Amino acid sequence: MTCGVQAQSSGIFINERSLDFNFLFLCRYSAVTGIFTADTAGLYYFEQYWLQNANAIHFIDMQKNGVVQCRSRGDSKGTGDYNAPSCSAVLELISGDQVYITSSHATNVACDACSGFTGFLIKVYV
């Protein structure tokens, strides 16, 4: 596999949108839009993981072409604790398919090094 994506982000995300990331290794990931676009048909693995600040609630979705593939939820409201939710998916993609992470609830991500989006091509379809 010569093409993959790894990205990290932090901040407070208030509105539903694709999340952009500060650090990445990639081939088809746009740091401007926060969207990975497949250029090769195949089977891909993606994972999103987050360190959520204490006393916060979040919902982070991994979407493929606008359809939620997996969701992580963290709720530490009133506990003073941090959460570290994640989700992963194995997805069949064709050229042009897009995978991205969105926040569907007010989200407070704790640190760059502890939160991110990663993925890689498992098998090329011919």
Residue-wise pLDDT for 21-32, tens only, equals 544 444 577 767
> Lowest-pLDDT range, 37-41, 58-62, 67-71?
58-62
Question: What's the pLDDT at 25?
Answer: 42
What is the percentage of the chain residues whose pLDDT exceeds 90?
25
Range of the domain at 119: 4-124
Residue 25, exposed/middle/buried by CB under 10 A (0-12, 13-18, 19+)? exposed
Residue 90 vs residue 21, higher pLDDT: 90
Contact partners, residue 87, CB within 8 Å, separation at least 6: 47, 48, 60, 62, 70, 71, 72
Question: What's the pLDDT at 70?
Answer: 94
User: What SS3 class is residue 114?
Assistant: helix
Check which CATH number belongs to the domain holding 22 and give it: 2.60.120.40
DSSP summary character for residue 98? E
Element housing 43 (H / E): strand 42-49
* pLDDT tens for each residue of 41-54: 999 999 988 777 76
Domains of the chain: total: 1
